[in-house]
Structures are given as structure tokens and as C-alpha cells.
């Protein structure tokens, strides 16, 4: 595991997480995350060879239900929460560049 978190790694993670930090914030976060990772490193003391990981304590594997269609028809309420709408649709910035 990493001894601490390099600043470039933190910048890469921020990009993956779709977050932007200015230089000062990135320095602060890098330091704090490094401290948290130091705490996490204590897990290395534990011998986990051959131990099955637990991702959930739920015993359920396949949960089936009747396939019943429900008409919720909440279009207006849903659109009321949207930041920008046009002609009954949610508006987003251009996804495809005009020139490409």
C-alpha cells in the first residue's frame, strides 16, 4: 500500500470523482486523506489470508416479485424538480460538439 497519498494521485481521484479543487484545497485534502490512509494501514496488521470478504450481511440472493406494471404518471412533479426544462423535457448542455 502507499505510504502516503501523492498529490498527483489525489488530483487523479478528484478527476474520477468529478470534483474540482483549487491548489490550496487540493493540498489540504491530500494531507487529510494521507492521514486517513495511515489509519487504514492498520488493517495490514490483520492476517486475512483465505478469509472470505463480507460485502453484505444479507442472506438474500435472488429476490423475486410479481412483474406488475404500475402507472405512476408523475411527469409534472418530476419535471418540477428539474433545474431546466423545455417542451416537457429535461434540458442538458450540448453533449455532441457541433463541429465533430
Partner 1 sequence: MTDFFNENLTSLHKKLVDKEISATELTKEALNKSKSSQSEINAFITIDDEGALKRAAEIDAVGIDPDNILSGIPFAIKDNIVTKGLKTTAASHILDNFVPVYDATVIEKLNELGIVTIGKTNMDEFAMGGSTETSYFGKTANAWDHTKVPGGSSGGSASSVASGVIPVALGSDTGGSIRQPAAFNGIVGLKPTYGRVSRWGLIAFGSSLDQIGPLTRTVEDNARVLAAISGKDQRDTTTEDQSVPDFTKGIKKGVKDLRIGVPKEYFAKGIDEGVKDVVKKAIAKYESSGAKVDEVSLPHSKYGIAAYYILASSEASSNLERFDGIRYGFSARQDGQTLEDLYVRTRSEGFGDEVKRRIMLGTFALSAGFYDAYFKKAAQVRTLIVNDFAKVFENHDIILGPTTTSPAFDLGSENDDPVKMYMNDLLTIPLNLAGLPGMSINAGFTDGLPVGLQIIGKRFDESTIYKTAYAFEQDSQLFTKHPGVNF
- Grid cell, residue 46, equals 490483520
Please, which residue, 27 or 35, has the CB nearer to partner 1? 35
What is the smallest separation between the CB atom of 68 and partner 1, expressed in angstroms? 10
By CB under 8 A, name the binding residues for partner 1. Answer: 1, 5, 9-10, 12-14, 16-21, 29, 32-33, 35-46, 48, 51-60, 63, 65, 74, 77-78, 80-84, 90, 92-95
Please, which residue, 27 or 38, has the CB nearer to partner 1? 38
What is the smallest separation between the CB atom of 39 and partner 1, expressed in angstroms? 6
What is the smallest separation between the CB atom of 72 and partner 1, expressed in angstroms? 8
Answer yes or no: are the C-beta atoms of 41 and 1 closer than 8 Å: yes
What is the smallest separation between the CB atom of 48 and partner 1, expressed in angstroms? 4
Label residues 68-100 b or e (16+ Cβ within 10 Å = b).
eeeeeeeeeeeeeeeeeeeeeeeeeeeeeeeee
Non-local (6+) Cβ contacts of 85 within 8 A are: 79, 91
Amino acid at each position: 500500500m502507499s505510504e502516503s497519498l501523492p498529490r498527483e494521485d489525489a488530483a487523479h481521484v478528484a478527476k474520477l470523482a468529478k470534483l474540482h479543487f483549487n491548489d490550496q484545497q487540493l493540498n489540504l485534502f491530500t494531507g487529510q486523506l494521507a492521514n486517513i490512509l495511515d489509519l487504514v494501514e492498520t488493517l495490514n496488521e490483520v492476517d486475512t489470508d483465505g478469509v472470505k470478504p463480507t460485502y453484505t450481511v444479507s442472506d438474500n440472493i435472488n429476490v423475486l416479485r410479481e412483474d406488475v406494471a404500475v402507472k405512476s404518471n408523475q411527469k409534472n412533479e418530476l419535471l418540477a424538480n428539474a433545474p431546466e426544462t423545455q417542451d416537457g423535457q429535461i434540458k442538458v448542455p450540448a453533449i455532441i460538439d457541433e463541429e465533430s
